[in-house]
Amino acid sequence: MARKKKTGDNNPQHKLKGYIAGAGEVVEERIASTLQENFMPYAMSIILSRAIPEIDGFKPSHRKLLYTMYKMGLLGAARTKSANIVGQTMKLNPHGDAAIYDTMVRLSRGYEALLHPFVDSKGNFGKAYSRDMAWAASRYTEAKLDPICSELFNDIDKDTVDFVDNYDNTLKEPSLLPAAFPSVLVNANTGIAVGMASSICSFNLEEVCRTTIGLLKDPDFDIMSTLIAPDFTGGAQIIYDKAAMESVYKTGRGSIRLRGRYSYDKFANCIDILSIPQTTTCEAIIEKVIDLVKQGKLKEIADIRDETGIDGLKITIDLKRGTNPDKLMQRLYKMTPLEDSFSCNFNVLIAGTPRVLGVRELLNEWSAFRIECVKRRTYYDLHKKQDRLHLLRGLEKILLDIDKAIRIIRHTEEEALVVPNLMEGFGIDEIQAEYVAEIKLRHLNREYILKHTNDISQLEKDIKELEEILASNRKIKAIIIKELENIIKKYSQPRRSMIIYADDIAEDDEEEEIPDYQTNLFFTKEGYFKKITPLSLRMGGEQKLKEGDSISQHIETTNNTDLIFFSDKQQAYKTKAPVFSDTKASVLGEYIPSKLGFDEDENAVYMISTKDYKGFVFFFFENGKAAKVSLDAYATKTNRKKLTGAYSDKDKLAAILFAEDDNSEILLRSSSGRMLLFKASDLMTKTSRTTQGVALMKLKKGHRVISAAIYKEGMLSDPDRYRVKTIPSTGQLPRSDEGGEQITFGNE
């Protein structure tokens, strides 16, 4: 039986219970220490080793995959099976074959997620713009490194970057790749870590390189003169807002508006969408359009289908006769993901620290990283040439007397003494003597030695140049600039994303034309709603209702009207009559809580129809109080559908009434049977929706207000009996001769 170990801290918020494996003992641990010991290392691992890219533009999973392919000899070679690549990568990346293959897919040319893919793929690799177009299994596809990867791995074996142990300390892998161009901005990169995220949009390779060259030459270079805007692999159109773009460039945060490109086929009367925003998929757009058509909001569309094929993305929309394609597209941009925003968050790991950088800072950090790479490469080359020169100087001394060298070797009885004797005989050091001693017998001739010693002058010249490079940042920057210019010549490509200026967009501000016709609105006690035309109402016969339900409101109006539904949870839901389809009396109608997305256990209790938000809403509470609120308190400038705090929650609601003016009279009834008739103008209008109102009806203990109705002639045989001059009032009981009188209250 498990024993409970007491720790002395009885605050349950500070403890976490758990089992020690194998011990069978329940222990209590502090949540703070558990989080620090278990969750914090996980969070740091996600941030530093998984989700956030580094200055070379890669996450660890990308870097491990590409380096494995490089060591497999897949740069400039024939393709190999993807499964082979995945298996080899598992020596560096222990996250499983599926995760590794997914990474390779997103880096591939076939997937079309990157402006400059790093993996040259063959086979079905899916498409970034399609949610349902899945890629084939790794055993069916083939891949190799794309030629641009030569710019990532050039000089990686010249100590340009640090190497670290892999997860089991059996192999070495680079901590960064010595990328010769700012790939961190050239290819899009997104990731979600713990408590932070990264979202870097892609830019055109030539524009990025030109901007980097400009900054290397002049730190105050105007980056917007060469780096115009991002460039997305899907093409689309960038809605250029200078202020927003400057903010993204300066802070590394902001959003960029994108919209799809389309063409109109006059003969087929259809719209062909040829590119979509990077943030969405074909299926999401098609589903949204179909949903809008079903709701009756896009009546101009006859059909929509996905015609994506070998020529690329294509969504075709068939139009009905007489449709203006440009106006329809303006509405589609507003109502569907065909126009979307790309959220920028240039969060990059710099020396192990996540930092959100603007474009200028990011390029400056990359330049500093690349300068360090070039310095390390130059230092490596310098040492190699110095070592070579040192050996050749020893060989040069041998040239003075080859016969002496042969004689020393021949007359040395012990092999171990050959090197010391050569050192003594020619005045050379041990390294030089070892080199001479290892020369093959066939090479101990004047021609061989002269040929090699002739390299001494060239080596001296090269060493001097390398030393001058190391001593001058200006020369190092010149080398980087030359490399960037070569990359532009070899890999540059035209922009894919078209830039359109926000000021040039013809915004269609016209409201959607809503057909306006006479209609009847019905609302039941159970919350069902029907919209029926007069013709259908005349021909429809008896109203179909749920068992036990009854019609509480019937309003004659036109189709172009706003509707407000009040709930029993002090909330109001706004909508428009055209949202509901015309129906018949023979159907139940639409259940308002479901249609408008009411909260759980929330019911609709009253409906108001208005076009100008003029009039007054009266709230009657069971405690005898009443509040009069102007209807314009429920008008909103934005299209908010849900209004909280629609009326007071201090007491239970008895009834709601709406009147277009306050000249009418209202008849109130309590559970005791007393009735009270008063003028609506006697109630003062309140500015706050949640007002408790004023006392209207005095109630005896145990009684409450149960209903209210707008008074109409004929409802009472002697209305003066119930009229009051001052409020609050107890009201009057009906006379004995009025006992059989049927009075209809709208909220009973």
Known catalytic residues are 140
- For residue 403, what are the CA distances in angstroms to 27, 185, 399, 407, 411? 85, 63, 9, 6, 12
β pairing state of 237-240 and 498-501: parallel
Cis peptide bond prior to 728, omega within 30° of 0: yes
Two structure tokens written together for 420: 């010391």
Residues 6+ apart with CB under 8 A from 710: 657, 659, 664, 665, 666, 667, 746
625-630 and 685-686 beta bridge pairing: parallel
User: CA-CA distance, 511 to 508, in Å (whole number)?
Assistant: 8
Q: Which residues contact 714 (CB under 8 A, 6 or more apart)?
A: none
- Spatial neighbors of 303 by CB under 8 A, at least 6 apart, are 317, 318
**Which 3 state secondary structure label does DSSP give 366?**
helix
Q: Are 385 and 476 in contact (CB under 8 A)?
A: no
- Which DSSP string do the residues of 564-611 spell out, in sequence order? EEEETTSEEEEEEGGGSPP--TTS--EEHHHHTTPPTT--EEEEEEES
d(CA 513, CA 532): 20
C-alpha distances out from residue 552 to 281, 522, 605, 606, 656, Å: 46, 8, 9, 8, 12
Q: Provide the b/e sequence for 10-31 (b: ≥16 CB within 10 Å).
A: eeeeeeeeeeeeeeeeebbeee
Q: Which tokens go with 72?
A: 């497999």
Q: Cα–Cα distance between 349 and 351 in angstroms, integer?
A: 6
Return the closest-CA partner of residue 618 out of 572, 574, 666, 687. Answer: 666
Residue 656 has which token pair? 């709601």
Structure tokens at 364: 């400056």
Query: Cα separation of 162 and 173, whole Å?
Result: 9
What is the amino acid identity at position 409? I
Q: Whole-angstrom Cα distance, residue 361 to residue 367?
A: 10
Q: What is the DSSP letter of 618?
A: E
Q: 443-481 burial string, b = 16+ CB within 10 Å, else e?
A: ebeeebbeebbeeeeebeebbeebeebeeeeeebbeebb
147 DSSP 8-state letter: G
- 126 in the Ramachandran plot: left (φ > 0), alpha (ψ -120 to 50) or beta? left
48: tokens are 């530093």
Provide the token pair at 254. Answer: 């902001």
Residues 6+ apart with CB under 8 A from 656: 566, 605, 606, 617, 618, 619, 620, 647, 747
